[in-house]
Amino acid sequence: MATINKTPKPKAKPGSQMFGLVMCISVFAFLFLISSLLSTNGFSIISSSISLRNLSRSKNQRQHTLHDKYLYWGNRIDCPGKHCDTCAGLGHQESSLRCALEEAIFLQRTFVMPSRMCINPMHNTKGILHHSDKASSVESGTAMFCAMDSLYDMDLISETVPVILDNSKMWYHVLLTSMKLGARGVAHVEGVSRVDLKENSRYSSLLLINRTASPLSWFMECKDRKNSSAIMLPHSFLPSMASEKLRDAADKIKVRLGDYDAIHVRRGDILKTRKDRYGVERTLHPHLDRDTHPESILCRIKKWVPPGRTLYIASNERTTGFFSPLSIRYRLAYSFNYSYILDPLIENNYQLFMIERLILMGAKTFIKTYKEDDNDLSLTDDPKKNTKNWQIPRIYRRNIPHFQANHNHHSCVVMPYLVRENLFIGNIGDAAEILQNGSSEITHILSILSSVSISFFTEWRSSLSIPSKEIKKVYVGRPDGGSGSEDDSGDGSKSSLPPEKLLYSLENAGKDLKLVRMAVPIRDMESEDLLDYLDVCLDFIDRSRKEGSVLVHCFAGVSRSAAIITAYLMKTEQLSSEDALESLRQSCESVCPNDGFLEQLKMFEEMGFKVDHTSTIYKRFRLKVLGDCYNRGERIDSSKFGADPGLPVEVSSGMEVSPNGRGTPAYRCKKCRRIVALQENVVDHIPGEGENSFEWHKRRSGSRFNKSDESECSSIFVEPLRWMTAVEEGALEGKLSCAHCEARLGYFNWSGIQCSCGSWITPAFQLHKSRVDISSV
């Protein structure tokens, strides 16, 4: 039997198994280490520093020398009370931000800047006047902050002190690393001086120092700024660090301004005394100038800014034309003159103020009426230390040799703005200069002032002496005066102006009586009647341009004269009111007619660039003027009432024949058949709109009272007519009775009457449908 010999297997060496096990463990350990490094950025400050250095290199490859240590000013965790979410103003936040940057430089740390800045609700939209209280909660919530990099250029700031934003990728890595390091990575400090943070090894070796903030806001008080060892950034540092798009916008505006001066006016006198968050009653901004009205400003700045200069005004005052009195000496410019540059860019008032500060800093002479730019505005926790005392405003002038050599010798006169050939616009100062000294260019002057007398100039400036010789005066409704009836009304009811009112004055005036001056009495008020003066003004401008050249001026050269020239451009060039005004602003950027004048210019456009007294548009306007006059306590003359359609002569002259040959619809007294109103006297209204229907809506001539209206309303409303004796007597309210049979027809009330449909009509002259019949005449 054969035997199978088994060859014994060689025994494995004990060391080979151990070697394989070690190799496997080493591979797994190496892979785990790599994974840990990638996920946690390392376990030491050295590895995290290397990672942070790599992450810090952005597209611009900024090379900072401080990447291993960081300073962060965070929100206070234990903020007490309901005021933790309150927002300080831009000045306070900038003051604190500048303090933080100074501390970062002192500690040789990179500053972690908040990515958002809190915005006071007053400034979360473009312009105080445009702020809406009806904004949704979502809109108001998102509008409470703006991105920090929309205000400041981070790259530009980093050239002085390295900064990162607290929403950047680098900051997340710093935060994660500091959390892993624990006590060795981060310290939350409060009330520790800068010197201790720098010299005490407990803090100096840490990766991150977190400054908790004051409970007043995210910022804190700079307690160390008065120390001799403190690093101080200039107050102009952050204003000059504006984002690139804001700097570009400011540069564009400065180019258009040319050689200019500037003034900042913070209107503190419109703010009221109130209690602060601590219950202490105080006056807001007590450090402001005591009088920031334009008349006071004009007196104060005239010794620093020569006449004729362009003056840029930055202010929180939003009243249109508030600073117009300054235009008698300077050519005024505002941010809204450059809306075509700012509107696509500006989202809130902080951005607007950033641009305005750059413009102010670029002025030849910059006058400050407040002291915030030169003082630390950070509030303290003690309310008694927050009150600031008013100081005399300081004047800052850039060192420009040309200006300093010549500012005492400004004798040249800057001519008014040329609008079109032989047509100029200016203010009372321009007109006074020409009247006093004459002009080789100007031959005619159109004065739009509250008084037509030449003495208005001497009252404005007592040193003036202007000779004049009257040619004629023309009054409303009077064809005498050598000019004919200038209001072309025939009867006074067609004009809104009161009878016997001075329409205009014509005279020779000025040096050697060579100038022809027409003066028109118009006040710069929204309720003022402009339409009834347009014809005489536009005719004078047209004649004057043919004979020479004409200066159109008012007191400031902003509202009244601008409205007249806008109407002239509308008529001669067939432009809309918006296009004509924009065209005028190409010549003079500061023009701004008041809202009442703008509405009347729109009516002028709708009437076909003429004042048509028969137009329903004009009749609505005339009724509005009558109502305003009554509300001011003025007696309404019967000549302003509509013609009595019941009189044969007035019926024949006032009636219009309908195209269908059926005659004019008329309303007759049901009892005696006397005509009490024509269809053209009826004032329409929208049924059921209640107090929203306060304005008059004139019926179109020839339109019939439809059945739907008849079912809704039990009355018709008409304009005041001459047969209404109770109205003529001046009563506020009363009955309307037929002039023939004395039957009661309705009721009148200058304060208004509610129609049966629910609409409120004011003023109201009501005829009950049950008391009248409709027929044709």
Task: Quickly list DSSP for 321-356.
Answer: TTTGGGGGTSEEE-GGGGHHHHTTT--SHHHHHHHH
Burial class (CB in 10 A: 0-12, 13-18, 19+), 134: exposed
Q: What is the 3-state secondary structure (H, E, C) of 217-248?
A: CCCCCCCCCCCCCCCCCCCCCCHHHECHHHHH
Q: Give the closest residue to 124 by CA, choosing from 300, 414, 351, 460.
A: 351
Q: Give the closest residue to 360 by CA, choosing from 286, 287, 253.
A: 253
- Cβ pair 530, 600 in contact under 8 A: yes
Burial class (CB in 10 A: 0-12, 13-18, 19+), 711: exposed
Tell me the backbone φ, ψ of residue 49, rounded to 5 degrees.
Answer: -65, -40
Tell me the C-alpha distance between 47 and 180, whole Å.
Answer: 13
Strands 515-521 vs 502-509: parallel, antiparallel or unpaired:
antiparallel
Tell me the C-alpha distance between 375 and 226, whole Å.
Answer: 12
Buried b (16+ CB within 10 A) or exposed e, 671-685: eeebbbbbbbbbbbb
Distance between first and last Cα of the chain: 153
Tell me the C-alpha distance between 315 and 412, whole Å.
Answer: 29
Indicate the SS3 state at residue 259: coil
554 belongs to the catalytic site: yes
Indicate the SS3 state at residue 293: coil
Tell me the C-alpha distance between 89 and 87, whole Å.
Answer: 7
Residues with Cβ within 8 Å of 287's Cβ and at least 6 positions away in sequence, in order, are: 370, 371, 388, 389, 390, 391
Number of helices and strands (H, E) in the chain? 23, 32
Tell me the C-alpha distance between 446 and 565, whole Å.
Answer: 11
- Cβ pair 149, 165 in contact under 8 A: yes
Pseudo-torsion of CA 618, 620, 623, 628, nearest 10°?
-100
Residue type at 629 in one-letter notation: C
Residues with Cβ within 8 Å of 193's Cβ and at least 6 positions away in sequence, in order, are: 223, 224
Pseudo-torsion of CA 111, 117, 120, 126, nearest 10°?
130
**Which contiguous run of DSSP H or E holds residue 621?**
helix 616-631
Q: Give the closest residue to 319 by CA, choosing from 293, 354, 283.
A: 293
DSSP E strands: which ranges in 659-751?
665-669, 675-678, 682-684, 697-698, 715-718, 733-737, 744-749
Q: What tokens were used for 740? A: 């023939």
Q: Give the closest residue to 776 by CA, choosing from 656, 671, 684.
A: 656
- Cβ pair 146, 90 in contact under 8 A: no
Identify the active-site residue in 222, 537, 554, 588. 554
Tell me the C-alpha distance between 349 and 315, whole Å.
Answer: 11
Tell me the C-alpha distance between 510 and 525, whole Å.
Answer: 29
How many CA atoms does the CB half-sphere of 28 hold within 13 Å?
A: 6
Tell me the C-alpha distance between 107 and 194, whole Å.
Answer: 7
Q: H helices of 666-724, where?
A: 707-712
Catalytic residues, by residue number, are: 554
